[in-house]
Structure 1
Amino acid sequence: MRHAPGGRAIRYRSRPYVCGALGDWDRRRLDELLAAAPTAVKRTAEHDGLVLHASGGTDRWRSGDHRGRLWGPLADGPAPRGWREAAESRMAAGAAAGPGYAALHTDALGLQDLYYRRIGDAVYFSGRIEPLLPVGGARAHVDWGAWASTLAMSSPVDDRTPFAEIKRMRAAGAWTWRDGRLHWESFEPSWAGAEPDPDLGPEEALAVLEDVLAPDRRTAVTLSGGWDSRLLGVLATRKVARMRAWTVSTDDGLDLDVRYAPAVAEALGLRHRVMIPADTAWNDHHAAVWRRTGYQTLFHTWLMPLAESLRRERVRLLDGLAGDVLFGGSFLSEATLAEPDPRDRWQLLRERMERKRDEVKAQLHPGVEAAFEELHAGAFKQAVAPFDGHPAALTLGALHTRTCRSIGISPMWIFAPETETALPFVHPEAVRTALRIPPEAKVGKAFYRRMLEAADPRTAALPSTNDPLPVPRPAIGPRRQTGPAAIAALTDRVRSSETVMGLLSDDLRADLAGADFAERVRKDTARFRVLGWAGLLAAWLEDFAPHLDLDGGARP
């Protein structure tokens, strides 16, 4: 199978690969799923209507007549008393069974990937997309809504994947089998009831974060030039001496992380290593990253050299995912908070998250541009609908649509499942505390700055990527992803796909044929972004051609 090499490159050490079936499942289809597994699995649990296979250990729990398995927990704690508690208090995916029911659930934020393909009264599920493709024998179709969102926000949103027939389980939900029927059940996590508290101070927020941190002597932190990793480093060094920190070039042409992180590491007494990947790193790694992430994001290739080094080191990694959104108020502004119409607030949030929105759309064929806008707007609306009316609606919307899908792929798939990875900012108590901070207090990262100053005034005073860029603005230097070889690789992929070329504007198609295209696209970030997306799509179409029906189904 052409997709197999990407899946088999993953070693499931810190989190197992899981798959199985729920409902009135068919043995032959289950066997198809098992045959396509990217690693060896064995039957782990079976109950009426449920069968679970896993590549490694899953945690058992039992409460009265209810029992289950969970995997990939992002929070420590006692054994849960039901699948909802496993999803929320342990932030885990899992399977559960009890009198008259069986359930398959993901975590309360939707960070744990569980994909499924529903056929009749059964859902066949997998921790990765690829093994679901042969199930049932029928070819899959392109989900153009997923690709529209990937262009707009760097990943699909809601339950979409690149394949129309394969869905990703939504946060805080479960498929259940009751009374001979499948049901989708969802719940509201308890932190959703957190009310804004003007009296909540930075010291209390810091105490919660410090309490949920549990570093040990193997712990390392990925130290950027920003505040998330800096704050984690401050709190972790209170518990563990002589921690290690790693910094890697972000390949953005500025490399402010490389410039700022050493001073932070020195102030905290961290052993520090800076990595500058070779000029060929993007070409060397992008195909593996695309496969590893299921072709679901434009990001993260720059992290692969660091991830490979950490796998050899066998460390436990602290990652600052979601700190900027939950505590720093990323994407909040006075304008969005002041907008009285909820629909307009969501639109303003979208525009803040979709970089160079108008310039990017202009690179598409006019008919495709209109179709993509409608598809993405509909998926985004569905994804944020559960938060309408919530005091922290904008924060929750950004968290679920961008952080947990596009950015969350980094710790969950670039570093894990090989490297044990801790995400303190998404611990249930940290989320609850962050939602108690009044949104207006977060604008301009004001509350977050107070937290950092309260934690360690020395590191708070050091230069940061959260600060405005110096004036005059530094010139953007060479980038690995826009080097001649990288642009040539993307351009060749796009030109070779008639389907992808048909999505692009006449001007962009003409430019792709020009001799000076590489030089011009390096200076036009919108065009480069569309080229990267088009190359990703072209590679996906080529990789999965045996499993796709491009003649049937809707076209954009």
Structure 2
Amino acid sequence: MKRHPQTPSSSAAQFCWVIVCGYQYRSHAAPPAAPYIDLRWDNGEVTWDGLSACTLGLPIAGPDGNGVYARWDWDGHRLRVENDRLGFQPLFIYHDAHRLLVSSSILQLIRLGAPNRLNYPALAIFLRLGFFLGEDTPFSKIQQIPPASTLTWAAGKLALERRPQPPVELNTAPRNTLSDDFIALFRQSIRRRLPTTDDCAVPLSGGRDSRHILFELYTAGQRPTCVTMQGSPLAKHDESDTALALSRRLGLPHDLVPQARSRLRQEYRKNLLTEFCADEHGWFLPTTDYLSRTYATVYDGIGGDVLAAGLFLTEDKLRLMRSGRFTALAEQLMPFEQTLARILNKPVYDRMPREPALEAVANELKRHADQPNPVGAFYFANRTRRKIALSPFAMISGPLVHAPFLDLELVAHLRGIPAEQLLDHRFHTETIARAYPRLADLPYFNGKREVVQNFAYTARASLDSLAIGLQHKRRRLLRPGYLFPRSVRTLLQTDYGLEFTLRIAPRILYLLQLDDWCDTSVATTTGEQWALET
């Protein structure tokens, strides 16, 4: 078991580190260049730049479109772009009458000249809901390519074909049969994704998804390394102990990765790596960095929580969906309106009204209403695909990332399970115990994710936010005078430090960074006329 260098252990030592380093924030480096192709059509001639062929991710054996991947091929006359059936590999596009840009990075498209006008309706949803819907991005002229798409471009003409998706069929089999089929299909998924080298890793938590992957790899004769991030300085309980118990039982190597000293420095890098499309994942960045530089193959549990464990599913949400009360459910999913109104500059807030955002979320909820698990279907198609996917498929760079829960045959099975079977949130736990009875005694992490006061850590966030604010002179999105009083209050009022560090500071940072990348013709903080298109 390897342990990495630790942050100073005592509060006094940490606070001294904060004082020394708090004003030395220098993380304005642009994100690394991403693969792209740039096609121009002018006066009947084509010019191009970038990569003529590129494959991101890997197609997997099984049904057509299996795996997580996107690829393009340019033969000098015709471009063909396609992606996996679920659309989990991020790939973005900008086009107009004379130009087509395709890249795995929104920020790469902007560097190449794609318009960076803000997408106010989409941001109105993101800042309230926490993720984008459909193919929206923060920028009005840039979109993510939809799932199961084939895009062709020739002689300046763009065509997009959506390959048909098989319907989700309700599965009314008994619970044990549903579980047995889950076991068999997951086993098949792992066999389709066995590593070809020994340097493979499973990021292991105290939960179910990574445990299921680990146990099945072990059953298949593999001996991956377990990688776990140590508990946050603000966490009352540390689930790394639960993860260590698993690796010890199986006799597997286990690497522990420490938390970063500065939460906001990680948030800063995360915002760039996730193309401003995620409000989570910053805390996980030390682990993705370690995985990127250490292993050739990584297994991620994306999708297992929503599809097999009923994450976000409650009786109330299911009742609202079944009764068609989509607006009421949308209201429930978008709290904290007063916080948003206070943090945004007034001209910006006026361009992002709540009512159209509510209507858009309600319409998206309605689109999934006839699914066996409508709540899970909504989150899987939007939150899982557009936000959670950015952790394994954008933040990890280098290793091949396998996502066993996204195998198409397994997804079809899990999507067909009635929501009522998942309401107790025990279906996945029972399935793992049924599949691996000799390991069923190993406990899960059931400690509540409570937070505790840590003055040195929250003080670091305060001083980092002040340093960042001093370096970002433009304040078109953030309300004038919002940052500095709250940063100082964190130093003076201990209880406020948690709220500032966990909720307020990351939003401030997101807006300041987005300000650097969006169109400079936006209105200033003095309330000038807005010039951006929606």
Scaled to the shorter chain, the TM-score interval is: 0.7 to 0.9
Q: Confirm or deny: 8 A CA contact 1:254 1:476 kept in the other structure.
A: yes
| Residue 324 of structure 1: how far off its partner (Å) | 0.5
Q: How does 1:150-189 map to 2 (within 5 A)?
A: 150-176=126-152, 181-189=157-165
Output the CA distance in 2 between the equivalents of 1:120 and 1:312: 41
Report the Cα distance in structure 2 between the residues aligned to 1:138 and 1:223, rounded to whole angstroms. Answer: 39
- Verify: 1:113 aligned to 2:85, yes or no: no
2:118 aligned partner: 142
Aligned residue in 1 for 2:506? 532
Equivalent residue for 2:246, pick from 261, 264, 268: 264
Q: Is the 8 A contact 2:314 2:423 kept in 1?
A: yes
Q: Which residue of 2 aligns with 1:14?
A: none
1:499 is paired with a residue of what secondary structure? coil
Among 295, 301, 309, the alignment partner of 1:314 is 295
Rounded Cα–Cα distance in structure 2 between residues aligned with 1:555 and 1:364: 22
Q: Which moved more, 1:362-371 or 1:424-433?
A: 362-371
Do 1:175 and 1:183's aligned partners in 2 also have CA atoms closer than 8 Å? yes
CA–CA separation in structure 1 for the residues paired with 2:455 and 2:398: 28
TM-superposed deviation, 1:422:
0.6
Residues 394-433 of structure 1: per-residue CA shift (max 9 Å, x gap): 2221012111111111101122x31211100011112111
The one-letter amino acid of 2:235's match is G
Change (3 A) 1:385 1:201: closer
| SS of equivalent residue, structure 2 residue 424 | helix
Summarize deviations over 1:476-524 as a string: whole Å, max 9, x none.
25398x53222222245457543233289x8x88545657467453233
In the TM superposition, residue 174 of structure 1 has moved relative to its aligned partner by 3.9
Going from structure 1 to structure 2, the CA distance change for 1:365 and 1:161 (only over 3 Å counts) comes to closer
Aligned alpha-carbon RMSD (Å): 3.8
* CA distance, structure 2, for counterparts of residue 350 and residue 427 of structure 1: 33
Distance 1:263 1:539, change over 3 A: same
Determine the structure 1 residue equivalent to 2:18.
none
The answer to whether 1:232 aligns with 2:213 is yes
Q: Distance in 2 between matches of 1:308 and 1:122?
A: 35
Distance 1:338-1:461 versus aligned 2 partners, 3 A rule? farther
Distance in 1 of aligned mates of 2:310 and 2:276:
28
Partner of 1:439: 419
The CA distance in 2 between the partners of 1:515 and 1:445, in whole Å, is: 37
Shift in Å, 1:345: 4.6
Shifted more, 159-168 versus 362-371: the winner is 362-371
- 1:413 & 1:463 partners in 2: Cα distance? 32
Q: CA deviation at 1:207?
A: 1.1
Match of 2:527 in 1: none
Q: 1:29 & 1:491 partners in 2: Cα distance?
A: 49
Structure 2 match to 1:549:
521
- The 8 Å contact of residues 493 and 539 in structure 1, kept in 2 or not, is answered as no
**Distance in 2 (alpha carbons) for counterparts of 1:422 and 1:479:** 39
1:310, 1:340 → 2: CA distance?
39
Displacement of 1:292 in angstroms is: 1.6
Give the 5 Å matches for 1:295-444: 295-339=276-320, 343-345=324-326, 347-348=328-329, 351=332, 357=336, 360-361=339-340, 363-364=342-343, 368=349, 371-381=352-362, 383-384=364-365, 386-415=367-396, 417-444=397-424
Q: Any idea what the Cα deviations from partners look like across 1:163-216, whole Å, max 9, x if unmatched?
A: 2221222223344459985444324422x3332233342121011101111333
- Give 1:154 shift: 3.0
* AA matched with 2:52: R
1:320–1:424 contact (8 Å) kept in structure 2: yes
CA contact (8 A) 1:215 1:240 kept: no
1:261 Cα deviation after fit: 1.1
Is the partner of 1:440 in helix, strand or coil?
helix
1:19 aligned to which of 37, 42, 50: 37
Code of the residue aligned with 1:19 in structure 2: it is I
What is the TM-score with the length of structure 2 in the denominator?
0.79
Q: Following the alignment from structure 2 to structure 1, what is the Cα–Cα distance between the partners of residues 203 and 42?
A: 43
**Separation (CA, whole Å) in 2 of partners of 1:487 and 1:145:** 31
Q: How many matched pairs?
A: 491
Distance 1:488 1:8 in 2: 27
Q: Distance in 2 between matches of 1:25 and 1:447?
A: 58
Residue 230 of structure 2, aligned match among 249, 252, 277:
249
- Report whether the alignment pairs 1:43 with 2:28: no
Say whether the 8 Å CA contact 1:331–1:349 is kept in structure 2: no
5+ residue gaps, structure 2:
1-26, 524-529
**Unpaired stretches in structure 1, ≥5 consecutive residues:** 11-16, 35-40, 45-53, 59-70, 79-84
Cα offset, 1:76, TM superposition: 3.0
Counterpart of 1:8 in structure 2 is 32
Residues 341-398 of structure 1 show CA distances to partners (whole Å, capped at 9, x for unaligned) of 664257537735x5x6456446446962893423533553465554342333322210
2:143 paired with 1:125: no
Inter-partner Cα distance in structure 2 for 1:203 and 1:341: 28
The superposition leaves residues 78-135 of structure 1 with CA deviations (integer Å, 9 ceiling, x where unpaired) of: 8xxxxxx4xx33443234799x996533332221112111212654222211232255
Task: List per-residue Cα deviations over 1:54-78 (Å, max 9, x = no partner).
Answer: 4xxx4xxxxxxxxxxxx42353348
Match of 2:61 among 76, 79, 103: 76
Match of 1:215 among 194, 198, 216: 194
By how many angstroms is 1:29 displaced?
9.5
The equivalent residue for 2:476 is: 499
**Counterpart Cα distance in 1 of 2:216 and 2:331:** 33
Whole-angstrom CA distance in 1 between matches of 2:149 and 2:306: 23
Q: Take 2:319 and 2:252, find their aligned partners in 1: how far apart are those partners?
A: 42
Q: TM-score, normalised by structure 1?
A: 0.76
Distance 1:511 1:184 in 2: 48
1:290 to 263, 267, 271: 271
CA distance in 1, matches of 2:316, 2:276: 34
In structure 1, how many angstroms separate the alpha carbons of the residues matched to 2:28 and 2:505?
Answer: 26
8 Å CA contact retained: 2:91, 2:105: yes
Contact 1:221 1:319 in 2 (8 A): yes
- What is the deviation of 1:468? 6.2
Output the amino acid matched with 1:398.
Y
Equivalent residue in structure 2 for 1:486, among 449, 461, 465:
461
User: Aligned with 1:259: secondary structure?
Assistant: helix
SS at match of 1:501: coil
Q: Percent identity?
A: 19
- Give the deviation of 1:296 after TM superposition: 2.0
Q: Could you say what secondary structure the match of 1:73 adopts? A: strand
* 1:206 maps to which of 183, 187, 207: 183
Label 1:26 to 1:299 Cα distance change in 2 as closer, same or farther (>3 A).
farther
| Residues 1:344 and 1:457: Cα distance change in structure 2 (over 3 Å) | farther
Change in Cα spacing, 1:274 to 1:104, as seen in structure 2 (3 Å) is: same
